[in-house]
Chains A and B, each alone.
Chain A
């Protein structure tokens, strides 16, 4: 069974500085990896995904993530953080053989605070 770990409950970064939110995964075979963001009192919003190809994936709002197969990681990054990026971020992994979403596993979430 697949699993996702987000080792940091909370990440604090100053506005304008680069940010990284970490994610590691465990899955048999090649994973499908996703990042979602959740703002207060809202549902999760899709940011980006890695399916195959280039290890650096670009997504919404200037975010990108780097897939590293040897380290089984998929860290989310942004070159210059904004106060409006403050939110809860979820990494998720999915089994490529799963067509019904039953094995869509989310990490525990990391709260990002960008300080002005």
Chain B
């Protein structure tokens, strides 16, 4: 069973549209994250959420919003998509008991804006 799963794997859409990416983890972890990996493979954290508190990277546009219906899910909603949003988006999770815990990543969603 996949520990962290994301859907869809590929998402192709037009500029200006609104889209969502779903993420589910079956590890029982308390904290989930969203990362953006650009075309040069640089990885940047966007959000972390521990079912009580959302921490946002201040560089992330407010068109991006995470939604957590329950502890096992953290979906990413993106409004008014722009060309620069094209990237691979990774969901991850970890236990919250300490910063020494590694993160478990999903396989990514490749978003392409036309």
Contact = CB atoms under 8 A, between A and B. Distances in A.
Interface of A: 32, 34, 36, 38, 41-46, 49, 51, 88, 90, 94-102, 104, 106, 108-109
B108 A43 contact: yes
B100 A46 contact: no
B103 interface: yes
B104 A46 contact: yes
Interface of B: 4, 31, 33, 40-45, 48, 50, 53, 55, 57, 90, 92, 94, 96, 98-100, 102-108
Contacts of B94: 101
Contacts of A97: 99
Contact of A104 (B45, B50, B107, B108): B45
B105 A45 contact: yes
Given A34-B102, A95-B99, A99-B96, A42 B31 contact: no
From B41, B100, B102, residue with most partner A Cβ within 10 Å: B102
A33 to B, nearest CB: 10
B98 A43 contact: no
